[in-house]
């Protein structure tokens, strides 16, 4: 049987079955899977090395599959494709018939700007990121494509893969995919254009088996926003430099309508305030209370927006009257500082405010004691009030969110600190909670995250926003259905 006949037969079977069987490689906790699941795809395989993320994926998705139809594995380097899909195979189902769609986001730490900086620091030389073994994990994804021959695949990663190690890794992947028999295109999508209350750019690489004679497309925008400076998609299509390096034959310049959409035809992207409006106000940290359990349930407040309703009623993940994750980091040194910062303020402003607070406290203390403090006492007092970070090296270390616009990118670094997302409500004087981070990523409130607070923050920051994944999945489904229409 020719490759064209085989893939068309596979497509007909999937449409007759009513769901495309999907494998999620480097699955994380399941943001990609969640979006595809909502679009009507059925997740039957997940591979994820992180134990907490692995547990989250299994807990949420194993219950949505028929008995014995879902399997999960840890390290993709130890799981050859034939073994991964063995539970789906039989005398009538071969390895190449087991999976219809491959999705996944190979680890991005070696590609991202934050990851590169960390690796350069460790190795003490530039381009050390190219030697990070995580930079080659995409090759395992392509090996699964070669072995399983899916109808289509979707790979997601940070925008920096378009400028990786003085090359264009996205174009390399497209070229390799072409040799494997796939028409492949890639584009930079901003999650805010699809209803996610967050400016988040990610590169999506979509390949469709060339036996279907389709050129991959990307979902049209559903929401209106104007991303701020610093987001490449706000410049693409406006005569500025592309966010990738040549060659880029397979790149799709995807800026919806020049970045400005008609309010009559398009909804406006939810703001951070709209995203979090019905979640409880948290002030327990201001009273000296200890750390809460991230699994504790707490009720909503009365104000709910359309976005909040969506997060509370997501199919298969409705939350009822309560949800968990209402836990924040305890940083007593910073509470006064958070209260005084204005929306949009970053670390230079925060450092200036902290320094002024310190000088006032110092003057008041010395006035009360009628003497000048020695240098050691001054140092102790300053450490209690002023963050220790260098303003020139870390200008983006702190950022207070603005309630009237989408949040900036929610990073995995939240697992270490949350200073990049200080809550816009000064009365709460804190960084965002686990549940708030999940909301900004468009995770429904009924989705369960496993592990402690840090592990949950990391899973959220590493994930594909489910609403963005849903838009990609729905558009791909329309294209595949059109083949046999």
Active site residues: 108
C-alpha Rg value of the chain to the nearest Å? 24
Q: Which long-range contacts (CB under 8 A, 24 or more apart) does 349-352 make?
A: 350/387, 350/398, 350/400, 351/386, 351/387, 351/389, 351/391
Using DSSP's 3-state secondary structure scheme, residue 223 falls into: strand
Q: Are 96 and 17 in contact (CB under 8 A)?
A: no
């Amino acid at each position: 049987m020719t490759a064209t006949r085989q893939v068309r037969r596979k497509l007909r079977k999937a449409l007759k079955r009513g769901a495309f069987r999907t494998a999620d490689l480097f699955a994380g906790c399941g943001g990609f899977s969640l979006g595809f699941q909502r679009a009507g795809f059925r997740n039957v395989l997940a591979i994820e090395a992180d134990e907490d993320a692995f547990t989250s994926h299994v807990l949420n998705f194993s219950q949505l599959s028929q008995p014995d139809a879902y399997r999960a594995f840890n390290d993709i380097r130890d799981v050859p494709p034939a073994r991964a899909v063995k539970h789906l195979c039989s005398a009538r189902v071969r390895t190449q018939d087991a999976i219809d769609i491959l999705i996944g986001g190979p680890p991005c730490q070696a590609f991202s700007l934050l990851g590169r900086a960390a690796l350069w620091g460790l190795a003490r030389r530039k381009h050390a990121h190219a030697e990070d073994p995580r930079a080659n994990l995409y090759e395992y994804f392509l090996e699964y494509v070669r072995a399983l021959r899916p109808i289509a695949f979707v790979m997601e990663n940070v925008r920096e893969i378009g400028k990786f190690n003085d090359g264009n890794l996205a174009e390399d992947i497209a070229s390799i995919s072409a040799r494997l028999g796939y028409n492949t295109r890639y584009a930079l999508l901003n999650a805010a254009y699809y209803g996610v209350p967050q400016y988040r750019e990610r590169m999506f690489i979509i390949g469709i088996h060339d036996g279907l004679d389709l050129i991959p497309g990307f979902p049209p925008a559903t929401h209106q926003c104007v991303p701020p400076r610093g987001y490449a998609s706000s410049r693409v299509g406006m005569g500025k430099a592309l966010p990738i390096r040549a060659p880029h034959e397979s790149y799709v310049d995807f800026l919806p309508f020049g970045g400005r959409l008609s309010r009559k035809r398009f909804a406006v992207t939810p703001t951070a305030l709209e995203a979090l409006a019905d979640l409880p106000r948290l002030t327990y940290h201001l009273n000296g209370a200890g750390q809460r359990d991230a699994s504790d349930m707490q009720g909503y407040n009365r104000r709910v927006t359309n976005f909040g309703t969506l997060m509370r009623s997501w199919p298969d993940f409705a939350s009822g009257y309560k949800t968990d994750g209402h836990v924040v980091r305890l940083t007593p040194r910073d509470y006064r500082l958070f209260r005084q910062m204005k929306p949009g303020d970053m670390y230079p402003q925060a450092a200036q405010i902290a320094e002024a607070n310190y000088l006032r406290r110092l003057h008041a203390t010395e006035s009360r004691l009628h003497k000048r403090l020695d240098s050691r006492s001054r140092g102790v007092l300053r450490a209690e009030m002023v963050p220790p970070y260098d303003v020139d090296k870390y200008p983006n270390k702190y950022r207070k969110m603005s309630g009237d616009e989408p949040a900036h990118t929610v990073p995995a670094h939240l697992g270490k600190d949350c200073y990049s997302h200080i809550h816009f409500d000064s009365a709460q004087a804190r960084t965002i909670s686990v549940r708030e981070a999940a909301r900004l990523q468009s995770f429904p409130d009924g989705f369960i995250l496993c592990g402690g607070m840090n592990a949950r923050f990391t899973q959220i920051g590493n994930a594909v926003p489910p609403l963005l994944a849903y838009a990609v999945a729905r558009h791909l489904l329309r294209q595949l259905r059109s083949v046999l229409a």
